[in-house]
Amino acid sequence: MADADHPDAPPCMYRDSGPDQCFDGESPFHGLPAMSAIDRCPALRAWRDAGEFIIVRHRRIYCRRAGAGPRLLLIHGFPTSSFDWAPMWSMLTARFEVLAFDLLGLGFSAKPRGHRYRVHEQADLAEAVAHHYGWTNAFVLAHDYGDTVAQELLARSSQGPTHAALRILRLCLLNGGLFPETHRARPIQRLLASPLGPGLVGLMSRRGFARSLQTLFSPTRPLSETAIDEYWALLRHDDGIHAVPSLLGYMAERRRERARWVGALQTTDTPLRLICGTLDPVSGLHMSERYRELVPRADIVVLDDVGHFPQLEDPERVFAAVAAFFPGDDA
C-alpha cells in the first residue's frame, strides 16, 4: 500500500530519521539483511522478546507475564497494544503478578484479514488467556477499548461462576468509552468505521496517524516521535492496518449493548475505580461526570493535566492510584 503522503513511494513499513526514508522489507544497505519495522524499534523488540505466543482458538496471541503477588490482568486499548503498559511495567511487577496480552487484531497477536472483530470475542480471549496461565480470578486494569472488554467480563462475573471463566476481584478503569452517549469519536474514527473504511484505510499515513494520536495527549505531555514510530510500526505489523475498520465496530456495539455494559457498572458488587485524564477530548472530564451520575458510590481519581493515555503520560501517578486501590491481600 502506498503512503498517502508520498503516493509514488513503495509501501512503507517504517519511516526512520526523516519523512522520506522507507523500509518495505528490502534493506537499503547493500549486503545487509532486511530489517522489519519491529526490529528497527529496540523497545518494541525487547517487549516482544520478553513475552511469548500462545495459541487460542487456532490464533496466535502474544502474552507477557512477570512479577509475584496478587494477580493483575491488563487489557489495553485501540489502536495500540500491551506495549501501552511498558512505562508502568516495572512498578506493577514489583507488587503484582502481572499478565498482559495483545487483543486479537492488535499488537503482536494474530490479525486475520476479513475477520469480524467483536467485543464478546475479545472477552472470550481474555478469559482463555487467563485460563492458560491457571487464573480463575484477578484484579483487572483496563484502558479505552479494553474498558469495554472489561465491562463484558464484569457482566459475566456478576452473573456468577457458570457465566464467567474469570472472576474480577476489583476493576480499575482508565479513560475509555464507558457510556456511548459521552464517547466523542474523532472524525477519522467515524470515517473508518463507516462503509468507506476499508477503502480509506489504505490511505492512512504515518503523518496523519501522528496528528490524530497527538490530539489525545495533554499539550504539556506530547507523545515523542520515537513513540509515534513504535505505535505506527505496531499498527502496520502483519498488515494489521486492514483490521482497523472492523475493530472500530466496537462503537456500534457499545450502543447496542449499552444496557448490559453500563448496567454491569451500576449493579456490580465488585469494587470499581475510574482514573481519568480530564484533558482527553474523547472520554475525559465529561465522561467522568457522567460516571459520577450513573455509577453508585463512584470512586474517581482525577488527573487534571493528563489526556487520553494516563499510563503513558503520568505512569507514576497512575501506579499510585492503582496500588492504593488493589490491596496486597485480596487475591
Statement: residue 27 has pLDDT above 50: no
The answer to whether the bond into 281 is cis (omega within 30° of 0) is: no
Domains observed in the chain: 41-325 (3.40.50.1820)
Lowest mean pLDDT among 28-42, 95-109, 177-191, 300-314: 28-42
pLDDT digits (tens, 9 = 90+) for 172-210: 999 999 999 999 888 888 888 888 888 888 888 999 999
- CB–CB of 288/318 below 8 Å? no
pLDDT digits (tens, 9 = 90+) for 223-246: 999 999 999 999 999 999 999 999
Statement: residue 315 has pLDDT above 70: yes
Q: Averaged over 91-95, what is the pLDDT?
A: 98
Statement: residue 24 has pLDDT above 70: no
What nine digits make up the cell of 251?
462503537
Statement: residue 287 has pLDDT above 80: yes
What secondary structure does DSSP assign to 54-68, as a single string? Answer: EEETTEEEEEEEEE-
The whole-chain average pLDDT of the chain stands at 88
For the chain, report the end-to-end CA distance as a whole number of angstroms: 48
Which letter does DSSP use for residue 137 in this model? E
| Predicted model pTM | 0.87
The Cα 172–Cα 138 span in angstroms is 12
